[in-house]
């Protein structure tokens, strides 16, 4: 297992996929920080840092990117054919998926910290330049950052499971994005009592959603953990039964 985890971290460091996704995500967040600050009125600019809209953008963008990172951690191997030598070297398929899970979980910490730092730092700098000062609220920021990283890690785990179930990379990524961006919004309008138990709603509940629309934060954490566990378990089962060759 130790060698498998090392190999996964080496893959992340030496390929362009994960660094490219990180740069793309940070660019989006940077644009969002500038745009939300430029569009804010005097009352909005006077809010504490945690109250600025850029953090809503981070909450929307970071899980999407981590879902893609998780999916690609396994579908890249199917796409390029490296899954065959991987499984020849390590025949225990669940161990291979577990190593990927650990590596993308660590990657989620990096992505989460980077996203939070860029959003907070750039917004604070822009607001300070505009009005001269901003209330930081370190404890609130710390709690939000911890919750954000937790959400990112669980979305990455869901991505690993989805990638193992749907090994066609484009289908897995497009399907995941449709679920996050379209399906849950439809469910919210058609079946709100059911929608609040789905992954996106659970993630929003973790960081502090609206009562009645989202469940409590603790329940949201349990739900998202349950979805991640289910996705990984089903992915491991499909992986075990699938003819790789």
pLDDT > 90: percent of the chain: 41
pLDDT for 97 beyond 70 = yes
pLDDT for 245: 58
| pLDDT classification of 49: cutoffs 50, 70, 90 | confident
pLDDT tens-digit series, residues 17-45: 899 999 999 999 999 989 888 887 777 77
**Residues facing 214 on adjacent strands:** 211
pTM of the full structure: 0.90
46-83 per-residue burial string, b: 16 or more CB within 10 A, e: under 16: eeebbebbbbebbbbbbbbbbbbbbbbbbbbbbeeeeb
End-to-end Cα distance, the chain: 23
pLDDT for 212: 55
pLDDT tens-digit series, residues 148-207: 999 999 999 999 999 999 988 999 999 999 998 898 888 888 888 888 889 998 998 888
State which residues form the domain around 180. Answer: 2-241
- Backbone angles phi and psi of 41, in degrees to 5: -85, 180
Higher pLDDT, residue 73 or 91? 73
pLDDT for 64: 94
Residue 40 burial by Cβ neighbours in a 10 Å radius (0-12, 13-18, 19+): buried
pLDDT for 94: 85
* Total structural domains within the chain: 1
* Euclidean distance between CA atoms 101 and 21, whole angstroms: 18
pLDDT for 145: 92
pLDDT for 211 beyond 60 = no
User: Is 101:157 a contact under the CB 8 Å cutoff?
Assistant: yes
pLDDT for 98 beyond 70 = yes
User: Is 107:156 a contact under the CB 8 Å cutoff?
Assistant: yes
pLDDT for 136 beyond 60 = yes
pLDDT for 209 beyond 70 = no
């Amino acid at each position: 297992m130790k060698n498998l985890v090392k190999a996964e971290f080496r893959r992340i460091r030496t390929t362009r996929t994960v660094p490219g996704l990180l740069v793309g995500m940070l660019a989006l967040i940077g644009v969002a920080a500038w745009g939300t600050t430029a569009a804010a009125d005097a009352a909005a600019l006077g809010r504490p840092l945690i109250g600025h809209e850029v953090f809503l953008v981070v909450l929307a963008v970071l899980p999407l990117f981590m879902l893609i990172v998780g999916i690609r951690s396994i579908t890249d191997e199917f796409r390029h054919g490296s899954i065959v030598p991987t499984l020849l070297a390590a025949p225990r398929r669940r161990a291979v998926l577990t190593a990927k899970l650990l590596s993308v979980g660590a990657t989620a910490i990096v992505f989460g910290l980077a996203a939070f730092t860029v959003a907070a730092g750039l917004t604070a700098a822009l607001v300070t330049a505009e009005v001269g000062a901003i209330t930081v609220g370190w404890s609130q920021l710390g709690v939000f950052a911890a919750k954000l990283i937790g959400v990112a890690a669980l979305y990455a785990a869901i991505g690993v499971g989805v990638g193992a179930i749907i090994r066609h990379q484009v289908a897995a990524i497009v399907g995941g994005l449709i679920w996050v961006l379209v399906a849950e919004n439809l469910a919210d309008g058609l079946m709100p009592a059911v929608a609040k138990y789905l992954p996106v709603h659970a993630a929003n509940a973790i960081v502090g959603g609206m009562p009645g629309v989202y469940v409590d934060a603790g329940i949201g954490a349990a739900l998202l953990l349950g979805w991640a566990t289910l996705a990984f378990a089903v992915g491991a089962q499909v992986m075990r039964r699938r003819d790789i060759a």
